[in-house]
Structure 1
Amino acid sequence: MFWTSSFLFKLLVVLLITAKFTSAEREYDQEYAKKILSSAQKEKDWLVSIRRKIHENPELGFQEFNTSALIRGDLDKLGIFYEYPFAKTGLVAQIGTGSHPVVALRADMDALPLQGTVRLLFQPAEEGGAGASYMIKEGALGDAEAIFGMHVDFKRPTGTIASISGPVLAAVCFFEVKIEGKGGHAAAPHKNTDPILAASFMILALQQLISREVDPLHSQVLSVTYVRGGTASNVIPNHVELGGTLRSLTTEGLLRLKQRVKEVIEGQAAVHKCKAYIDMKEEDFPSYPATVNDQRLHQHVKRVGRIVLGPENVRSGEKVMAGEDFAFYQEMIPGAMFSIGIRNERIGSIHSPHSPHFFLDEDVLPIGAALHTAIAEIYLNDHQHSAVQ
Structure 2
Amino acid sequence: MFNQQNRLQILKMDFLMKQKLTLVGIALLVVGLLFIFNEHKTPTEPVLLTKTNDEQQLSHSQIARQTQTINQTDSILPNISPQEMVRCDGIAEMFTDPIIEDSFNKYSANQDIYFDNIKQQQTQQSRIASAFIKKNKSIEADIVNFDQLLQTYPSNKLIAFNLMLHCGYSTVEVCDETMMQRALDIDNQNGALWLQMAIYQLKSADVEKAKKSLVQFVHSQRYNEYSGDYFSTIDLALKEAGANDDLSLKIAMLGIAATRYKPNYSLLIELCDKTDTDNAALLNICLQTSQRLIESKGGLFTHQMGLSIQKSMLEKYGDSEGIANNSSAQKAFDTFNEEANIAMNMVLRSRKRTGDWLSLNIDYGELAALEYMIDQAKQASANHQQDQCAINW
Question: Per the shorter chain, which TM-score range?
Answer: under 0.3
If you compute each CA radius of gyration, which structure gives the higher value, 1 or 2? 1
Task: Tell me the TM-score normalized by structure 1.
Answer: 0.22
Answer 1 or 2: which has greater strand percent. 1
TM (norm. structure 2) is 0.22
